Amino acid sequence: MEEKKWPGPKGMIPEPERNAADANMHNRRYLDELLVEMRVIDALEPDLTLQLFGKTFASPIMMPAFSHLNKVGITGRTPMQEYAAAAEEMNLVNWVGMEPDEEYASIAAEGASTVRIIKPFMDHDEIFRQIAFAKEHGALAVGVDIDHVFGKNGKYDVVDGIPLGPVTTDDLAAYVKAAGDTQFVAKGVLSVTDAVKCEKAGCAGIFVSHHHGRLPFGIPPVMALQEIRKALSDTKMKVFADCSIESGYDAFKALALGADAVSVGRGILPGLLKEGKEGVIKKVKRMNEELSEMMGYTGIGDLSQMDSSVILHHGRHL
């Protein structure tokens, strides 16, 4: 009998290795099941320009909120600095995850428009302090990982010896107030329930994500996008998405279903670690080409024209 295999985060995996609780497996399978309807008559070469938080960017494909890639590479610089430099050269939005202030400052110094994402520390004063530091270093936006609260033991997580804690709607409102004129983003939304609470708290944007599988059996972020976008239709909130966005084709599906922009994480990692900035640039250039190809074949001239009706799942429009 032929060995049964299932989609996994790194390709097809044999049945004994399959872990149904791994949300990344469901990401990949769902993304690959989404098919696209062609609308090519009258289609023109598309414009990928992204307008975000008062700035203009070359593409809706963004850098990821990586953390802890601090080992100096072949270029004599850290991978965090290298992908920030790629973002600066390509005019893309850059994201940074949990990093000490001095590391964040070295990344921000690369010149890219950067969003600093802060862990939900139990010590709220540390969150406010990191928000202030990011603002001092010209952050495009700041945010908190609302999905990194619990560990595998069901208790509040501890990262690098630092206790994390819960995030309430009132907490979010306080972080928004502390951010002031700098936009605030809640990262790790995976339901209409949390999206509406973020809107109530005054967030300028949300990141639809499960943090590469923090939630066992978590639904694919792309699956959640349409309902979240519908729930926020009367607001100006920006909606971002990630998890298994490995190609421009994946990016197109997320954008068509309601994301304003998407982050590519593990998709850039091989090139980043082997070639630094140049490896990231090669990958994102190819993703931009694939995204442009899909927009052309569906008659979508720019990001404002994204249309979920071009996406079908199991033969039905979503």
Specify whether the CB–CB gap between 55 and 113 falls below 8 A.
yes
Asked if pLDDT for residue 15 goes beyond 70, the answer is no
Predicted confidence (pLDDT) per residue in 66-94, tens digit: 998 888 776 788 999 999 999 999 999 99
Residue with tokens 């998709």: 267
| Domain positions in the chain | 50-317
The whole-number pLDDT of residue 104 equals: 97
Q: What CATH superfamily classification does 50-317 receive?
A: Aldolase class I (3.20.20.70)
Residue 159 sits at φ, ψ, to 5 deg, of -120, 125
DSSP 8-state class, residue 257 = T
Percent of the chain with pLDDT over 90: 90
Instruction: Please state the rounded mean pLDDT for residues 141-164.
Output: 97
Residue with tokens 């953390």: 67
Structure tokens at 221: 């972020």
Predicted confidence (pLDDT) per residue in 219-236, tens digit: 999 999 999 999 999 999
DSSP 8-state class, residue 236 = -
Asked if pLDDT for residue 8 goes beyond 60, the answer is no
Predicted confidence (pLDDT) per residue in 224-283, tens digit: 999 999 999 999 999 999 999 999 999 999 999 999 999 999 999 999 999 999 999 999
Kindly give, in sequence order, each residue whose CB lies less than 8 Å from that of residue 116, ignoring residues fewer than 6 positions away.
96, 104, 130, 131, 134, 139, 141, 142, 143
3-state secondary structure of 37: coil
The residue among 129, 62, 65 whose CA lies nearest residue 101 is 129
**What sign does the CA torsion over 183, 109, 240, 45 have?**
positive
Cα distances from 303 to residues 117, 154, 231, 241, in angstroms, run: 25, 40, 20, 15
For every residue of 92-139, DSSP letters joined together read --EEE-S--HHHHHHHHTT---EEEEE--BSSHHHHHHHHHHHHHTT-
The residue among 70, 39, 57, 95 whose CA lies nearest residue 207 is 95
The whole-number pLDDT of residue 17 equals: 60
